[in-house]
Amino acid sequence: MKQLISCEFSIDTACVELKYSNGSIILINCTAVEDAVANSRFQRSELDWLIYNDSVSYAELILNSDPKEYLQTVTGLLQLDY
C-alpha cells in the first residue's frame, strides 16, 4: 500500500502536490477546481484557506468528498452575493 509522504501547495504551478512512497505523484490544479465548484467569493475564500493552511484536508476534500456540498454547508450563511 502506498503512503502519503508529502502534501503541499506549489505557488509555481498553482497545484497541491501529493507525493507517495511508491513514487507516484498527484497534482490537483487549484484554479480548475475553484472554477468548477466555487460559485461565490466566500466559497473561493474557503478553498484558498484550505490550500494554504491545511493542504491535506483540501486534497482529501477534492479526491474523496463532494466539494460543492461542503462549500454550500460551510458558506451557506454567508450567501450575500447577488
In this structure, are residues 34 and 46 in contact, taking their beta carbons and an 8 Å threshold? no
When computed from its CA atoms, the radius of gyration of the chain, rounded to whole angstroms, is 14
Give residue 2's pLDDT band: very low, low, confident or very high (50, 70, 90): confident
Nearest-angstrom CA–CA distance, 63 and 67: 9
| 34-43 mean pLDDT | 93
**Coil, helix or strand for 68?**
helix
Indicate whether 34 pLDDT > 70.
Answer: yes
**Coil, helix or strand for 25?**
strand
| DSSP symbol at 16 | E
Q: Say if pTM beats, i.e. exceeds, 0.95.
A: no
Q: Where are the alpha helices (DSSP H) in 1-82?
A: 30-37, 41-53, 55-64, 67-75
